[in-house]
Structures are given as structure tokens and as C-alpha cells.
Amino acid sequence: MPTSRTMDLIQKIHRHSLILLFPLAAASAFIEWEKLPLSILTGGILGLLNLRALAWGVQGLLGSHRASSKMLFFSQFRIVMLFLVLTTLVYLKLVNIFGILAGFSAVFSMVIIEGLKYAKEDEKKEKDSGGESRQMPE
């Protein structure tokens, strides 16, 4: 069962990624107008969808105490579909590969930044609530 803190973290990542993606796409319009802005947004949206599916898969695995075949199939299916969508978009020359990578990188950077903030908050809460009692005795 997903916790509200986990869902809050995913929502923060989504919100901050979108806040980063739109100005990045707008700024890229000055470099190459035709494909780069759309490519950045496409890469970012695919990255966010992938993150959401990954979180759903991990929550399903953790909630069942064992890896179900449905979850394992979905994980493989997600990767194959992502690869097929990207390959099709690049093959049809609808997107710029560097824009796709920029969009993925923007989402990935938000995952790292928000994850570090989340970890620091947990560490601070543990320290404030007397987490010292869990340390090894000397």
C-alpha cells in the first residue's frame, strides 16, 4: 500500500519536472524551432510516465511480499514499449534525439533532487525523534 509521503514525493517530482520542462522547451526554441522544444517535452512526458509506472510496479512488488508474474511482465512490457515509442519517433524524424535526452535528464535530475530532500527530511525526523537509540552500543 503506497504511503501518502511516497505519493507526495511522486507528485512533487511531477510538479517540479513540469516547472523545469516548459521553460527549458521555451528556451530551446531559440536554438532550433522545429523539433527541439517538442522533443524536450516528449522526453519529459515519457520520463514522467515511466517514473509513474516504475513507482506502481515497485509498490506492487513490495505489497505482495513476492514478485508476481504480472508485475514482472508489466516491468518488461514497460521497457519494451518505451523503447518502441522512442525508436518510432526517432525513425519518423518527429523528434530530436538530443531533445529527448534533455527531457529525460530534466526528469531524472528532479528525481535525484527531490529524493535527496526526502532522505534529508527522514534523517532529520529520525534524529529529532531519538533515533540515537538505534545505534550500536559502545
Grid cell, residue 36, equals 527541439
Position 132 pLDDT exceeds 70:
no
Position 136 pLDDT exceeds 50:
no
Percent of the chain with pLDDT over 70: 88
Q: What is the mean pLDDT of the chain?
A: 85
Asked if residues 106 and 40 have their Cβ atoms less than 8 Å apart, the reply is: yes
Q: CA triplet 103, 7, 82: central angle to 5 degrees?
A: 35
Position 137 pLDDT exceeds 60:
no
Q: Among 62, 24, 30, which residue's Cα sits nearest to residue 44?
A: 24
Q: Where are the domains of the chain?
A: 4-118
| Cα separation values, 88 from 35, 82, 93, 102, 107, Å | 15, 10, 8, 18, 21
pLDDT digits (tens, 9 = 90+) for 14-34: 999 999 999 999 999 888 778
pLDDT digits (tens, 9 = 90+) for 49-64: 999 888 887 777 777 6
The amino acid at 74: F
